[in-house]
Structure formats: C-alpha cells, structure tokens
Amino acid sequence: MVQGTTANRILVFAPHPDDDVLGCGGSIARHVEEGAQIKIVYLTSGESGSLTVSKAELAGLREKEALAAARVLGVNDTEFLRWPDGYLTIKPEYLIKLTSLIRAEKPHRIYLPHSQDLVPDHLVTHQLVVEAMRRSAGPWFQECSPGPWSVATALGYEIWSPILNPGLALDISSFMDKKIAALREHRSQLEGFRYDDAITALNRYRAVMNSSYMYCECFQLIKIQAVTDNPAYE
C-alpha cells in the first residue's frame, strides 16, 4: 500500500451529509492544509433518517450540520443536490447533472463511496459518479456542457462497509481531532449512535494494519492516471 499525494482541485461526493466526514474527513482537512481547492457535493440531504421529524425539517437541519462540519474541515464550497434520500437510482437527469458538474469543476481528484458499499444510496452514488467520470472525459454528450474533462485520480472511501483490499492509505494522524470535531457537528446523527467512536476505531485499525501512523483513512483505487499524457489535464 502506498501513501497518497495531494491534488489541486478536489471534488467529494457524499450520498448523505456526514458520509464525507466519515469516509475522508481527515484527508479533506489534510488537503486543505496542503492548499487544495475542495468542493463537497451532497446528493441527498439525509431527510429520511427519522420517523418523527418531518423530512423538510430534517433536511434543513442536516444541511446546516453539513455546512458547519465542512467549515471545521476548512471547506466553504458546498452544493446540495437534494435528490431523494433512500431512493437514489441511475437515471439520465442525475448523470447529466454529475457529468456537467465534473466538467465545470475540472477536479484532479474525486472522492466517492467505494464499489462494495452495502448501503444502497452509497452504491448508487458510486455507480453514478463512475459513469459521470467516464462520460465527462470524451467528446460526447453535448447536453453536459462544458467538456471534456478527464479526472486523474478517483478514490473510493469507506464508511461502515470496510474495503477488503484497500490500495491507498492516507496518514490523517494530525487531522483526527479536526475530523472528530467535524463529525460532532452532525448532532442529529450522534444522538443514537457513537459514530465518533466507531470511525476512530476504524481509522486506528487501518493505521495499525498498514503503517506506523496513529490514524489512517484507506481507499479503493478506482482510477489513477498519469497526467502528463492527458490533453484534458491542465
């Protein structure tokens, strides 16, 4: 397993608010310190997570929590697509939006859920983003303007479905405090579960098994591309 490097423009796709923090919050904070421009895109606002709070109220609350958490990590650029929580599917308008977004933002690196995530919205997010990256790279789909743009690196993050064979470990030891502080902005999610304890344990486990660091985030290598031969790479 290798240690990762940084990239200038980074896009993070989160199926729900808090997936970004859990899956790659430490890496986000590290990239911010290294000078990267980072945008986080939330596909849903996590509005289905209650039987008592209305969907509109919960969506508003979770978006506020996501904004506060992103600020803790040092990210001010966010976008909420407000697609239906629990009902993500592959459909043309989603692919058009994601492809257009990738072409407009021109990210060098993308973070997304890995390909064996057991949560349906996470798996569909993986499939949507991978297909949007493929579409973004070529001279086609004029409805997805501008274009084309080829993403150099795409990394799959893990939440509660650990990656069986991670290909990359990023040292987040210096950023673990920030990651947990960001996670604790998601108060509505921590009421019933100690996600802060769970993710600390996962990141510690990854560090013990893969390195001499204190905490690591591990990733699935989805795409790693030599950038010098890529005419679409600035």
Contact residues toward Zn ion (CB under 5 A) are 15-16, 19
Q: How far is the CB of 16 from Zn ion (least distance, A)?
A: 4
For residues 108 and 186, which CB has a smaller minimum distance to Zn ion in the complex? 186
For residues 81 and 227, which CB has a smaller minimum distance to Zn ion in the complex? 81
For residues 17 and 147, which CB has a smaller minimum distance to Zn ion in the complex? 17
Closest CA to 39 of 79, 94, 66, 8: 79
For residues 37 and 50, which CB has a smaller minimum distance to Zn ion in the complex? 50
Backbone phi, then psi, for 6, in 5-degree steps? -100, 175
d(CA 50, CA 47): 8
Q: How far is the CB of 197 from Zn ion (least distance, A)?
A: 18
For residues 83 and 149, which CB has a smaller minimum distance to Zn ion in the complex? 83
Closest CA to 86 of 54, 34, 122: 122
Backbone phi, then psi, for 223, in 5-degree steps? -150, 130
Q: How far is the CB of 234 from Zn ion (least distance, A)?
A: 32
For residues 15 and 26, which CB has a smaller minimum distance to Zn ion in the complex? 15
E-strand stretches of 140-195: 153-157, 168-171
Q: How far is the CB of 19 from Zn ion (least distance, A)?
A: 4
For residues 22 and 32, which CB has a smaller minimum distance to Zn ion in the complex? 22
Provide the token pair at 34: 């290294």
Query: Who contacts 191 (Cβ-Cβ below 8 Å, separation ≥6)?
Result: none
Closest CA to 145 of 93, 97, 83: 97
- 117 alpha-carbon distance from chain centroid: 13
Q: How far is the CB of 18 from Zn ion (least distance, A)?
A: 7
d(CA 111, CA 174): 20
DSSP 80: E
Q: How far is the CB of 116 from Zn ion (least distance, A)?
A: 15
Q: How far is the CB of 94 from Zn ion (least distance, A)?
A: 16
Burial of 223 (0-12, 13-18, 19+ CB in 10 A): middle
Residue nearest to Zn ion (CB): 16
